[in-house]
Amino acid sequence: MLSKGLTQGTVPRLERPGPLRERVYETLLELITSRALRPGQHLVESELATHLGVSRQPVREALQRLSTEGWVDLRPAQGAFVHEPTDEEADQLLTVRTLLEAEAARLAAGRADAEGIAGLEELCDRGEAAARAEDVERVIELNTRFHASVLEMAANAVLAELIGQVGRRVRWYYSPVARQRGMASWIEHRELIAALRDGDGERATRIMRQHTEHTRRSYHELRPS
């Protein structure tokens, strides 16, 4: 039942300016990542269009973009289905993210300045505080911002773009896991900052590798399937 996930209360009404397809894209992505639209669910263009108050065309374009980015599967003459992640795929995605994040850390180590380090320290402080307060939402947000900051220091737009896509899908797959390991994560962040301050690219790479690798282990412990 589609209407189950598209009641008026849960759908952010399109308000902000900008191309319509863009807003539809963001809305659908939000609905998918938030599990309002569940994996395997059949997305009907006309239904989405009606519920969002637009015509089919912007919905089509949004769906196709979602398709190229791996969020939905677009079966010919049949329509769009929310992608169903497999364990194998989740594993591969995490492998790639580990790789990309590690490289970002390495690049960041070669460019880190005092100001950037200070910003990371502050995020770390706030992250630990949120972890102690068990404010899960805030922990996740700060974690994302921490990684984004490292990425910014790496100064590689292409790398940032890729991590943005891969990372978001990883967070989607692993969101049940992410809540588990709040505190340990921030201790590792401290180590990373130290490596960045010293400009030690190799150590930063290694730490980031371990950091994301821990996430993988948590995942497999949680789902020993």
Partner DNA sequence: CTCCAGGATCCTGTAGACGAAATGCAATCG
Partner DNA sequence: CGATTGCATTTCGTCTACAGGATCCTGGAG
DSSP conformational letter for 5: G
What would the two tokens of residue 105 be?
A: 């850390």
Strand pairing class (42-43; 79-82): antiparallel
**69 binds a copy of itself per the rule CB under 8 A:** yes
| Contacts (Cβ under 8 Å, ≥6 apart) of 114 | none
Does 203 engage in binding with a copy of itself (CB under 8 A)? no
Instruction: From residue 105, give the alpha-carbon distance in Å to each of 175, 183, 207.
Output: 23, 20, 9
Burial class (CB in 10 A: 0-12, 13-18, 19+), 36: middle
Stretch that binds DNA, among 16-24, 97-105, 142-150, 180-188 (CB under 7 A): 16-24
Between 76 and 115, how does the x/- string for binding to DNA read (CB under 7 A)? Answer: xxxxx-----------------------------------
Decide if 71 contacts 83 (C-beta within 8 A).
yes
**Pick 121 or 152: Cβ nearer a copy of itself:** 152
Tokens 């950037």 -> residue? 116
Per CB under 8 A, the segment of 53-61, 113-121, 130-138, 185-193 that binds a copy of itself is 53-61
Interaction mask 142-181, a copy of itself, x per CB under 8 A: --------------xxxx--x---x---------------
Of residues 102 and 120, the one with the C-beta less far from a copy of itself: 102
Q: How far is the CB of 152 from a copy of itself (least distance, A)?
A: 14
Q: For residues 40 and 31, what is the distance between their CA atoms, to the nearest angstrom? A: 14
Buried b (16+ CB within 10 A) or exposed e, 41-72: bebebeebbebbebeeebbbbbbebbbeebbb
- The minimum distance between CB 169 and DNA, in angstroms, equals 22
Q: Does 95 bind a copy of itself (CB under 8 A)?
A: yes
Question: Which lies closer to a copy of itself via its Cβ, residue 33 or residue 95?
Answer: 95
For residue 175, give both structure tokens: 């969101």
Q: What does the block give as tokens for 211?
A: 């950091």
With CB under 5 to 8 Å by kind, the binding choice for 191 among a copy of itself, DNA, none is none
Q: How far is the CB of 32 from a copy of itself (least distance, A)?
A: 17
CA separation (Å) from 57 to 44, 46, 48, 62? 12, 9, 11, 9
| Residues lying near a copy of itself in the complex (CB under 8 A) | 19, 21, 57, 60-61, 64-65, 68-69, 76, 89, 92-93, 95-96, 99-100, 103, 107, 156-159, 162, 166
Binding site for DNA (CB under 7 A): 19-21, 43-47, 54-58, 60, 74, 76-80
